[in-house]
Amino acid sequence: MGLFDPDRYFSRVTRISPEADLVACGFENMLLDMDNTILSRATHDIPRDVRAWLADVREAGVNICLLSNNWHKTPFEWAAELDLPVVAKALKPLPHGYLAARAKLGARSANTVVVGDQLSTDVVGAHLLGMQAYLVCPLVEQDLKHTLLLRNFERALLGARTPEGAQACEGRE
Ligand SMILES: [Mg+2]
């Protein structure tokens, strides 16, 4: 497993089946990125289908901790609204945020999956700690400048790899 090599790659976070891709794979815990994974950078909202997916994941018995590099108060507001634990200012891919999030859930590497839209933060950080990582296409193309720069590099690394659940990263808002 390469540092930059996601274990699975999905066209949208909602394509991750709570039963087939989480529970059946032994994942009882999820460290979940926010920006452009569940929270649109365009609308600054969580799309309705993503909210439904979050409910389905929890219904399946998978514990979620939000793990965000965001420095603003947004992660805390969303965490309160969604009633989920959160680690913000995580400085992904550095390990301490992952460790804090994992500790909040009482989780181990083996039963935890990291889900996010960036190779160089979400995926690399997961792999540094021996956790599996599911990469998802960003909800929208719009993003912070430095993130967009990183995405060019990440696209090159992904090459022709096609996400599960779509022909390509299409159908985004
Ligand atoms: Mg993100």
Model confidence pLDDT, tens digit, residues 106-131: 999 999 999 999 999 999 999 999 99
Distance 23 CA to ligand 1 centre (A): 23
Instruction: Name the token pair of 141.
Output: 């193309």
Cα(106) to ligand 1 centroid in Å equals 24
How far is ligand 1, taken at its centre, from the CA of residue 131, in Å?
18
Question: Would you say residue 168 lies in a domain?
Answer: no
The whole-chain average pLDDT of the chain stands at 93
Distance of CA 124 to the CA centre of its chain: 12
Q: Give distance in angstroms: CA of 37 to centre of ligand 1.
A: 5
User: Domain count of the chain?
Assistant: 1
173 within a domain of the structure (yes/no): no
CA distances from 52 to 5, 57, 126 (A): 28, 9, 25
Gap between the Cα atoms of 173 and 168, Å rounded? 14
Residue 47 in domain: yes
Domain contains 79: yes
What is the model's pLDDT at position 1?
64
The per-residue pLDDT for 144 is 85
CB burial string 49-75: b at 16+ within 10 A, e below: ebeebbebbbeeebbbbbbbbbeeeeb
Q: What is the CATH number of the domain that holds 43?
A: 3.40.50.1000
Give yes or no for residue 162 having a pLDDT over 60: yes
User: Is residue 2 in a domain?
Assistant: no
Q: How confident is the model at residue 27 (pLDDT cuts 50, 70, 90)?
A: very high
* 166 falls within a domain: no
Tell me: pLDDT of 34 over 80: yes
How many angstroms is it from 92 CA to the middle of ligand 1?
A: 10
Note whether residue 167 is domain-resident. Answer: no
Ligand 1: centre distance to CA 36 (Å): 5
pTM over 0.95: no
Give residue 90's domain range.
8-158
- Residue 153: its pLDDT value, please? 85
Residue 2 has pLDDT above 60, yes or no: yes
